[in-house]
Structure 1
Amino acid sequence: MNWHVHYLDGHGRISPFKAAVEKALDDVKARMLAVCELPQVDIVVRAVPADWVIPEKGHVGRCSGEIVDLYLAPEHPNLTGNLGQSLSQMIAHEMHHAMRFQSIGLPKTLGDVLVSEGLAGRFVEELFQNDPEPWERAFSRLELQKFVPLAQTSFDGSDYDYAEWTYGTGKLPRWLGYTLGYEIVGDFIARNSGACASNLVSAPSADFKMALDSFAA
């Protein structure tokens, strides 16, 4: 088995959601097997406080390469409505991270972050043909242009604040990095025949710099 699922459920708070989690895992597994091999991962499912998750979803995922964490907030009002395809899409997003991180390592530069998030988002699109998630369409292309110079100068650097670029904890707006990465990878795929997120798992982040530069044109 490629996926080993662990429920941290000593207090029974995850039990009501196990069936939904298992259904989502089976859904993602079947979709992934149609386009790629499954990564070898441990999946840890646990209940967390409501302020640990994406407010719009009631859940969130994390990936450290060999471990995928699925965080569910049982008391969050939006969780119940996001236990179907929304949960499957979150899992698929993290599984692409697992494949990429196991292939080329964890992100070291801002460019690595933008590309890995963009690829994960486009992988979900490849599997589900879904509309972009809210964090992938938070800005228009015109709005993104004013942040391109900063992204260009910081692309190869390791001196960046992940939370600021993704969650808007500093001077940058919330979800900027997600939307910019999604658009960069989308442009790259559109310009390269046959390219898709499932076959770009190991592509160096440097390959996507031209797509970022195109925003400034």
Structure 2
Amino acid sequence: MVMNKINLFITEANGNLSNKRTLILNAIKKAEEYTFPKLKIDWDIDIVITNRVYEFVIPEDGVGGRSYASDFILISINEDKITENILAETLVHELCHAARWGKNDEWMNTLFDGMISEGIATYFESEFVKDKAEKQLFLKTVVERSNEENEKVYEELKGQFKNEGYDYQTIFFNGNDKLPRWSGYSLGYLIVKKYLEKSGKTIEEAFADKYADIEAAL
């Protein structure tokens, strides 16, 4: 199904997800109307929505997303938990990744690169929901993490910023006895927030900035 620049594919063989079609279409519309003008996306993006891939779904939010390229996003949902607003929020996050890759083709090589990439998408997501009552647990946890907690995360990770062989799953998702869940997102969000304050840019102006330029400005 084509919706302006989004080519939507819902995995609904044998009626799978058919009962969520209206919810999905409404969420896509909200995300597209918010993201495309702000980030000046002028190319087509394929989005696959399924309930068949569970490994990156956040249990509390009922959704998870992965952007594989500037024009391909995979979203997996738990149809018993997903809401229209939460799905739209996730789509905004992933569309920001796609937009950045469409305008800045540098690879995420180091932990610092990964944190900035996720920090940009998370900050953009936070702007989308800032006046909304319903937000993902993921986002609330990242944005509301205390300065003390963030300082502990920074002290634990600062020596790894230039590493290319870092433990992505632990740092960005699961955490461990020294790192809380979503630590990489929290630190990335904080770095991006400080960069925007220092540069005077909005997230729409800064989302495609080079990793080296962000690092140099801190």
TM-score bracket, normalised by the shorter chain, equals 0.7 to 0.9
Structure 2 match to 1:97: 97
User: What RMSD, in angstroms, separates the aligned Cα atoms of the two structures?
Assistant: 2.3
**Are the equivalent residues in 1 in contact too, given 2:39–2:99 (CA < 8 A)?**
no
Equivalent position SS for 1:146: helix
Asked if 2 retains the 8 angstrom alpha-carbon contact of 1:49 and 1:73, the reply is: no
* Contact 2:39/2:96 (8 A) holds in 1: no
Q: 1:57 maps to what in 2? A: 61
Identify the residue that residue 140 of structure 2 maps to in structure 1. 134
Distance across 2 between alignment mates of 1:186 and 1:43: 28
Residue 49 of structure 1: how far off its partner (Å)? 6.1
2:210 maps to 204
Unpaired runs of 5+ residues, structure 1, are: 213-217
- Contact 2:123–2:203 (CA<8 Å) still a contact in 1? yes
CA–CA distance in structure 2, aligned partners of residues 153 and 186 of structure 1: 21
1:35 aligns with 2:38: yes
Question: Aligned to 2:14, what secondary structure does the other structure show?
Answer: coil
Is 1:181 matched up with 2:185? no
Residue in 2 aligned with 1:88?
A: 88
Q: Report the counterpart of residue 197 of structure 2 in structure 1.
A: 190
Q: Compared with structure 1, are the counterparts of its residues 43 and 61 closer, same or farther at alpha carbon in structure 2 (3 Å cutoff)?
A: same
Q: How far apart, in 1, do the equivalents of 2:52 and 2:215 lie?
A: 37
Look up the equivalent residue of 2:159 and give its one-letter code: T
**2:157 corresponds to which residue?**
151
One-letter amino acid of the counterpart of residue 58, structure 1: G
1:24 alignment partner AA = A
Normalising by structure 1, report the TM-score.
0.84
Distance 1:2 1:141 in 2: 40
The residue aligned with 1:25 is 28
How far is the alpha carbon of 1:46 from its aligned partner? 0.9
Q: Amino acid of the residue matched to residue 10 of structure 2? A: Y
3-state SS of 1:68 partner: strand
* Per-residue deviation, residues 118-159 of structure 1 (Å, max 9, x unmatched): 110111233343577134136311122123244332222211
Report the CA distance shift for 1:119/1:90 in structure 2 as closer, same or farther (over 3 A): same
1:215 alignment partner in structure 2: none
Asked if the contact 2:57/2:77 (under 8 Å) is kept, the reply is yes
Asked whether the 8 Å contact 2:53–2:76 carries over to 1, the reply is no
Gaps of 5+ in 2: none
Q: Which residue of 2 aligns with 1:73?
A: 78
2:158 counterpart letter in structure 1: Q
Partner SS for 1:203: coil
Bigger CA drift: 112-121 or 163-172?
Answer: 163-172
Asked if 1:5 corresponds to 2:11, the answer is no
Work out the CA distance in 1 between the residues paired with 2:107 and 2:76: 20
- The 3-state SS of whatever aligns with 1:64 is strand
* 3-state SS in 1 of match to 2:207: coil
Instruction: Name the CA distance, whole Å, in 1 between partners of 2:32 and 2:56.
Output: 26
Alignment partners' CA distance in 1, 2:131 and 2:215 = 26
1:50/1:58 contact within 8 Å kept: no
Q: Distance in 2 between matches of 1:208 and 1:134?
A: 24
**Equivalent position of 1:14 in the other structure:** 17
Inter-CA distance 69–50: structure 2 relative to 1 (3 Å threshold): closer
User: 2:7 and 2:176 mapped to 1: Cα distance?
Assistant: 37
Secondary structure of the 1:147 match is helix
Q: What number of residue pairs does the alignment pair up?
A: 206
- Contact 1:135 1:178 (8 Å CA) reproduced: no
Q: State the Cα deviation string for residues 21-48 of structure 1 (Å, max 9, x = none).
A: 1111111111124423225311011113
